[in-house]
Amino acid sequence: MVAAAVRYLSWFAVAILCCSFATASTGCVVVRAHERGHLAKRAMTDDRDPGETRFVGHERGSREGAEGGAGQPGGGCGCN
Amino acid sequence: MRLQLAFALAVLALAVPRARADGELAVRGVYYKEQATRVMQPMLDGMFDAGLHGVATGHFLVDAITSASASSGAANAQPFTERRYEGGLGYAHDFGGLTVGADAKYSTESDYISRYAGVKVQLELGQKNTVLGLGGGISLDTVSAAAAQGPSMPSLRCSASDPSETSCPLDVYALYGSASQILGPNTVLGGSVDLATLRGYQSNPYREAIAGDALVPERHPTERTRESFAASVRHYLSPTGTTVIAAYRYYRDTWKVHAHTPELRVVQEIGRDADATVGYRYYTQDGAFFFRDRYPADDAAMTQYVSDDVKLSTFTGHTLEAKLGVLGDAFELHGQWAAARFEGILEYDIQNNRFGNAVVAHVALTLPFTY
């Protein structure tokens, strides 16, 4: 677990750095606060409420073999 | 003079009204129906400003499974009724570009108890153009067969070498990393890596598989490591007020389940006070390395893994979603009710396995308030 975590999080960090560098090098990285009207819209931040996200995760976890990918860990549930 | 100044400052401090804080309460009801299971889930979510830099969250829900099979899709399923209660609390503190948070969750039902605690850190870089997240959590669960029908509760073998017990532990250790990057005034890119290791009893205590001419209790491996890699892009089309969200997830685990999940959602603004969403999600997975429709006859040592879990078979699925959100302003409500959001969701799941198709419906009200 620890070895896998270090391995994947290292890859992840490298990928983020590469993406950030690539984006920065194009000169379009900084979108200033007054230009973020569209980015602040509900659909552009998170179009799902916490309750909807939680139910969807629970439902899909009880019907599908795959879990995760929502960007946050979750506790166990009685759906095995 | 100094005393007078201190007195004046004290009077001023008392005269200034206390800073008001914001909060939000959300009430949601969900109805879920599939071939063998029907669930009603009312839930309450709250979010409150705690001081100038803190946000506290909490939730409570009840899963009322009014007609279902304890063996979750098994061919020999019997109807039963059960309730699951879940509550959670969280707190996040903003240190100026760095947010540190923790949350805990407790869930209980007759045959499963889950206790979860986690921490997370979020770092904003480049004038918030880049946001990085890192988190982890531990879930300590207890599984039993207390919901079994019949005069006695079946015993469980927590692992192949253990004697029978009335309950078994299942520990989950999870880590995740996430990142979002603004690519322009209308585009955001996101990505995440999730990693979880499960150790302990992972079978369904009620389910049986066919081995030879007999039915034998399900025996899954007691270790599983799950990895998922997800990416998404959100793009706003200003001329039409449309947001397009495309996402993809790749999943794999040590039981040799591999899954691909592409998803597309389109959110359309309708005037100032409403939005409509349509979405499609495709899901496909390979079966676990030990999943079979029938197994050879069990040997005396019962060494082979046996499963009747539909989730571990090879299958594909399709999900269609429609959502409508309307602000109270559209109904000419006033005050805080003008900013209240009413939401309805209808979802249809198609799966080519024994679970069959499912319908999910949500209704929700989110009410912001000041205190």
Cα B350 to the center of its chain, rounded Å: 20
Ranges of H-type helices in chain B: 2-15
Neighbours of B132 (CB within 10 A): 18
For residue B260, give every residue at least 6 positions away whose Cβ sits within 8 Å of its Cβ, in sequence order, or none: B248, B249, B250, B251, B282, B283, B284, B285
Helices (runs of H) and strands (runs of E) counted in chain B:
1, 20
Q: Which two tokens stand for residue B250?
A: 């790749």
Chain B partners within 8 Å of A31 (Cβ):
129, 182, 184-185
Residue B133: CB partners within 8 Å, gap ≥ 6? A71, B120, B121, B122, B123, B176, B177, B178, B179, B192
Range 4-33 of A in CB contact (< 8 A) with B: 4-5, 8-9, 11-13, 15-16, 19-20, 23-24, 28-33
Q: What average pLDDT does this structure show over A57-80? A: 71
**CB-based contact (8 Å) between B56 and chain A?**
no
Residues with Cβ < 8 Å from B271, sequence gap 6 or more? B330
DSSP three-state, residue B275 = strand
Q: What is the pLDDT of residue A75?
A: 43
Give B281's contacts (C-beta < 8 A, 6+ positions apart).
B261, B262, B263, B264, B318, B319, B321
Which residues in chain B touch residue A9, judged by CB atoms under 8 angstroms apart? Answer: 134, 175, 177, 193, 195
* pLDDT attached to residue A78: 43
* Nearest C-alpha neighbor of A43 from the set B333, B348, B186: B186
Q: How many C-beta neighbours within 10 Å does residue A27 have?
A: 7
What was the pLDDT predicted at B96?
Answer: 92
pLDDT for the residue numbered B242: 97
> What is residue B222's DSSP assignment?
S
**In what helix (H) or strand (E) does residue A57 lie, and over which residues does it extend?**
helix A50-63
From the number of C-beta atoms within 10 Å of its C-beta (0-12, 13-18, 19+), residue B334 rates as exposed
Say what the pLDDT of residue B206 is.
86
Contacts of B84 in chain A (CB under 8 A): 77-78
Are A76 and B172 an interchain contact pair (Cβ–Cβ within 8 Å)?
yes
Tens-of-pLDDT digits for all 371 residues of chain B?
A: 454 545 544 544 444 445 578 999 999 999 999 987 899 999 999 999 999 999 999 999 999 987 655 555 455 556 678 899 999 999 999 999 999 999 999 999 988 999 999 999 999 998 889 999 999 999 999 998 887 766 666 778 887 777 778 899 999 999 999 999 999 999 999 999 999 999 999 999 888 899 888 888 899 999 999 999 999 999 999 999 999 999 999 999 999 999 999 999 999 999 999 999 999 999 999 999 999 999 988 776 667 899 999 999 999 999 999 999 999 999 999 998 999 999 999 999 999 888 889 999 999 999 999 98
**Cβ of residue B158 closer than 8 Å to a chain A Cβ:** no
**Beta carbon pairs, A and B, within 8 Å:** 237
- ipTM value of the model? 0.88
Chain B residue whose CA is closest to A44: B234
Residue with tokens 């007759």: B110
Backbone angles phi, psi at B7, to 5 degrees: -65, -45
CA distance A71 to chain B (A): 5
Please list every residue in chain A whose beta carbon sits closer than 8 Å to the beta carbon of residue B127.
30, 32-33
Q: Which two structure tokens, joined as six digits, stand for B340?
A: 């209240």
| Chain A residue whose CA is closest to B181 | A20
Question: Are residues A66 and B251, on separate chains, in Cβ contact within 8 Å?
Answer: yes
Torsional class of B258: left (φ above 0), alpha (ψ -120 to 50), beta (otherwise): beta
Which residues have CB under 8 Å from A36's CB, separation 6+?
Answer: B182, B185
Q: Give yes or no for a contact between B18 and B30, defined as CB atoms under 8 angstroms apart.
A: no
pLDDT, position B76: 53
When mean pLDDT is compared over A32-41, A61-70, B312-321, B350-359, the highest value belongs to: B312-321
Verify whether the Cβ–Cβ distance B360 to A59 is below 8 Å.
Answer: yes
DSSP B295: B
Arithmetic mean of pLDDT over chain A: 72
Cβ within 8 Å, pair B114-A79: no
Taking the C-alpha atoms of residue B286 and residue B34, their distance in angstroms, rounded to an integer, is 22
The alpha carbon of residue A59 is apart from the nearest alpha carbon of chain B, in Å, by 9
Tokens of residue A41, six digits: 């819209």
Q: Check residue B363 and give its pLDDT.
A: 98
- Per-residue pLDDT at B118: 95
